[in-house]
Structure 1
Amino acid sequence: MAFSTPKAVFHPFLAIAAIVGSITLLQIGSGTLIALMPLKMAAADLPTRDIGFVSTGYAVGFMGGCLFATWFVRWIGHVRAFAALAAVLAAITLAFTIGVDSWLWTGLRALMGFCMAGLMTIADSWVSAQTPKGQRGHVMSVYMILNKLALSGGPLLLTLGEIAGPGFFMAISAIFSLSMLPVAFTHAPLPNLPPAERMGLVGVYRTAPAALVGCIAIGLMNSAVLNLAPLYGARIGLTPAAAAGLLTAFQLGSLILQWPIGWLSDRMDRRRVIVGGALAVAAVSFALGIGGGAFGQGWPLFAMVGLWGGCGLSIYAVCIAHASDHAEPDQMVALCSSLILGWAVGSAIGPTAGSFAMEWLGSGGLFLYAGVVALLMAGFVGYRMTRRRAKRPEERRGFVNVPASSPAIPRLDPRTRRAMAESVDEALGADPDGPNGGDQGSGDAEPPRFRPSTR
């Protein structure tokens, strides 16, 4: 007797839950590893610059994955590609137990960056294809929150034991292996991977120079701080668990402040929000860089770090929103994909630059470097405010908290779907806001002006 597969397993939200569950596990493992590696290297007395090189290796691999991951997924398919890349991640994590060697670890981290870029490309395109029409804003919000909670929760695992020995590497490898299970058990139809679309950095600069420079600066700044913050914590006297907890504070600060920052960016010139956020980052950076030890090891230090994360990790989405305000409808996907590459270029340089700053200026050099980058970003964006008028609120598409996860994420952005519909309707001569235009064609409503809710 033949048994039919229950219809429930084909429900689109179950398909989304499967891939989001897998990515959440990956982010827990990744967040734990980001906290663990600099502490292990510092315990082995590796030079600070070597720790920066290892972090740069990941960013370089991620950039390569952004360029070539779509080809790999088309070659063997979504599920097989996800399983292969997750299996390689698990194997690489175990390879770290061979010994603490900067050249070996740099190469391994580069491979991990490539794998993570491919996995995020699969996840973003999968979630985009399976999300029901009109629900993209909800799904994007849940997707972002789960990612941030996973990244903030991962470092807390280091409080469960000593960082010496291979135990944590083995646990992270197991988490990466378990991430394959939700995807392996899904029966949902697999999506087609859309072609990669990019505008080129020169084209992006011509369209939205403040957004491009902002994304590159954010990569320079955030990659250095997030990868080297545990080392900074260890250098100012924190225990390994507390030093890893700095990463949790960064992510929780971002989770709390992203809503008011988005709300503000929908009600004033977004560049003012970028400048204000960058100046806040610079102020906190100089405070931590010059007198980090004065904050002690309790809540004042973690509050300052949370404020830094709330501003520093939220500006990227405002830059994307600013760029979308100036893009033509048919440019949206290519523009946002190119901005992610700009961010990746900055991320490939930031950890090395930050590590040299720590060598020359001491532990506080990390935040002094970040403060200088933030000031330069604020200065350039402020200059651009004198060269181009701000878009009126009714001319904007609305803020969406977009992560820098892969070139496929713009297709999940509800603004992109709306822009595509507007482009088609304009070509057909239809009114995109009329009864037969816009949302009827795409099924996705324009995102509302940002409100502090889970939308």
Structure 2
Amino acid sequence: MLYVMRTSWPLLLGMLLLMVGNGLQGSLLGVRGSAAGFSTTVMAVVMSAYFAGFLFASRMVPEMIRRVGHVRVFAALGSFISAALILFPAVQHPAAWVLGRLVLGFCFCGVYVTAESWLNNTATNETRGQTLSAYMIVQTLGIIAAQALLVVPDVSGFLLFVIPSVLVSISFAPILLSISPTPAFESTKRMTLRELYSVSPLGMVGIFLLGSVFAAQFGMAAVYATEAGMRLGQISIFVAAFYVGALIMQYPLGWISDRVDRRGLIMIVAALGAAGALVAVMAQSYWVIVGCAAVIGGCSNPLYSLLIAYTNDFLQSEDMAAASAGLLFINGVGAIAGPLVIGWVMQVMGPPGFFVLIATLLVALTAYAAYRMTQRPAPAVETTGAYAPVLPSASPVAMEVAQEYFIERSEEEEEE
């Protein structure tokens, strides 16, 4: 890990700054939307637009890079991010915010794809797993750090939008000054969603449900906290708790998953997350709610990696790239739907609807995992592949790194 940090620190630093900027804008809009008089339903549409842009970019940006190159795409999309962030406080209209979030989702995905391509190009077979771990840690720390900036005094109403704009702009420097030539994207064969479902029904259904859960955390947590009457400092701690839990639980659950039937672990972890959400619905204490948020984040985020690893257990190495594209698409569809549904539920039930929907999604995943355990035997533990830490916000390139790591570990185990 230290070797990866020493050789890739400019790229990791740039990604840290990007994640701070992205994490702050999501929470900030949730807080400012309420102050601007936007309803929960309107804010749900605003938050959902980000994931729609992200999904479009995951399919379009590779072609853009093939046509004009990494550097031009990176610089162009970064400029749009900075501009969009500045325009949010200047044009406080729902349609403008929806368009702005759509642009941000598209551009952030494109920037991630480009930066992760360079990061992947610096990794070797021996360091790929460590690179992936370092990148996941940097992503999570960036989002956590972003929440601390919510409490910065902002008398003019513009400062907190200027900060992420500046951070994104600064992030370009360490990345662009340290890059090496990156291999061109190569197209992979397609796997239809029907084929993916036949390979791993639990993987496909689970990834869809988790897309909605993650979108609720990343997009609607600050909206919930504002509607629940939390102060800025409390909102900051509450949103950060989801990612602190994810950071703490990612590796213990990954270690366990390499040694047991992953379906059973998926069922147990989803049930724990659902229990945390149900406790939060009934909780009256702020700190109990924060603890529940940490439990939910500590369960839901590692579940994404667990489901990918479980799906890979039933795939040939040459099919993994095609399958990952399908999983990304399904996750994106779930992420778009999540804020829309949770916004409607909160409009009907009030703030507790936030946790009610998360509990419902995780209960559904628990039940489906239990059902799938009755449909076919689990693969032998010694034949399953390695767990690779990936966040639900992964771009196609981060998924590619994870799949390469999975393939390499599988080949190493076959040779032993």
Q: TM-score, normalised by structure 2?
A: 0.94
Distance 1:43 1:352, change over 3 A: same
The aligned residue for residue 409 of structure 1 is 398
Q: Judge conservation of contact 1:70–1:196 (CA < 8 Å) in 2.
A: no
Return the alpha-carbon distance in structure 1 between the equivalents of residues 315 and 291 of structure 2: 37
Match of 1:340 among 305, 317, 328: 328
Q: Superposed, which structure 2 residues align to 1:2-13 within 5 Å?
A: none
Gaps of 5+ in 2: none
Return the alpha-carbon distance in structure 2 between the equivalents of residues 274 and 201 of structure 1: 22
Distance 1:95 1:196, change over 3 A: farther
Return the alpha-carbon distance in structure 2 between the equivalents of residues 72 and 196 of structure 1: 16
The aligned residue for residue 327 of structure 1 is 315
Return the alpha-carbon distance in structure 1 between the equivalents of residues 15 and 187 of structure 2: 22
Match of 1:397 among 371, 385, 396: 385
Distance 1:374 1:187, change over 3 A: closer
Distance 1:183 1:169, change over 3 A: same
Match of 2:150 among 153, 158, 161: 158
Return the alpha-carbon distance in structure 1 between the equivalents of residues 148 and 318 of structure 2: 43
Q: Superposed, which structure 2 residues align to 1:189-228 within 5 Å?
A: 189-195=181-187, 198-228=190-220
What's the % identity of the aligned pairs? 27
Q: Judge conservation of contact 1:20–1:123 (CA < 8 Å) in 2.
A: no
The aligned residue for residue 118 of structure 1 is 110
The aligned residue for residue 140 of structure 2 is 148
The aligned residue for residue 433 of structure 1 is 415
Q: How many corresponding residue pairs? A: 412
Distance 1:256 1:14, change over 3 A: closer
Q: Secondary structure of the residue that 1:408 maps to in structure 2?
A: helix
Q: Judge conservation of contact 1:214–1:319 (CA < 8 Å) in 2.
A: yes
Match of 2:348 among 351, 360, 368: 360
Structure 1 residue 249 corresponds to structure 2 residue 238: no
The offset of 1:234, in angstroms, is: 2.2
Amino acid at match of 1:371: A
Stretch of structure 1 that moved more, 387-396 or 117-126: 117-126
Q: CA RMSD in A?
A: 2.1
The offset of 1:332, in angstroms, is: 1.1
Distance 1:153 1:61, change over 3 A: same
The offset of 1:16, in angstroms, is: 3.3
The aligned residue for residue 250 of structure 2 is 258
Return the alpha-carbon distance in structure 1 between the equivalents of residues 84 and 410 of structure 2: 40
Return the alpha-carbon distance in structure 1 between the equivalents of residues 124 and 405 of structure 2: 15
Q: Judge conservation of contact 2:48–2:338 (CA < 8 Å) in 1.
A: yes
Q: Judge conservation of contact 1:224–1:354 (CA < 8 Å) in 2.
A: yes
Q: Judge conservation of contact 2:118–2:179 (CA < 8 Å) in 1.
A: no
Amino acid at match of 2:315: A
Return the alpha-carbon distance in structure 2 between the equivalents of residues 66 and 78 of structure 1: 15
Distance 1:197 1:20, change over 3 A: farther
Return the alpha-carbon distance in structure 2 between the equivalents of residues 163 and 259 of structure 1: 41
Q: TM-score, normalised by structure 1?
A: 0.86
Return the alpha-carbon distance in structure 2 between the equivalents of residues 395 and 251 of structure 1: 31
The offset of 1:346, in angstroms, is: 0.1
Return the alpha-carbon distance in structure 2 between the equivalents of residues 13 and 300 of structure 1: 36
Q: Judge conservation of contact 1:12–1:188 (CA < 8 Å) in 2.
A: no
The offset of 1:432, in angstroms, is: 5.4
The offset of 1:23, in angstroms, is: 1.6
The offset of 1:225, in angstroms, is: 3.1
Stretch of structure 1 that moved more, 161-170 or 370-379: 161-170
The aligned residue for residue 365 of structure 2 is 377
Q: Secondary structure of the residue that 2:255 maps to in structure 1?
A: helix
Amino acid at match of 2:290: F
Amino acid at match of 2:401: L
Return the alpha-carbon distance in structure 1 between the equivalents of residues 190 and 21 of structure 2: 30
Amino acid at match of 2:245: G
Stretch of structure 1 that moved more, 22-31 or 234-243: 234-243
Distance 1:283 1:21, change over 3 A: same
Structure 1 residue 316 corresponds to structure 2 residue 304: yes
Gaps of 5+ in 1: 1-10, 423-430, 435-455
Q: Judge conservation of contact 2:210–2:331 (CA < 8 Å) in 1.
A: yes
Please identify the structure whose Cα radius of gyration is greater: 1
The aligned residue for residue 34 of structure 1 is 26
The offset of 1:87, in angstroms, is: 1.0
Structure 1 residue 84 corresponds to structure 2 residue 72: no
Structure 1 residue 17 corresponds to structure 2 residue 3: no
The offset of 1:164, in angstroms, is: 6.3
Return the alpha-carbon distance in structure 2 between the equivalents of residues 133 and 267 of structure 1: 23
Return the alpha-carbon distance in structure 2 between the equivalents of residues 254 and 124 of structure 1: 21
The offset of 1:420, in angstroms, is: 9.1
Structure 1 residue 233 corresponds to structure 2 residue 222: no
Return the alpha-carbon distance in structure 2 between the equivalents of residues 201 and 164 of structure 1: 49
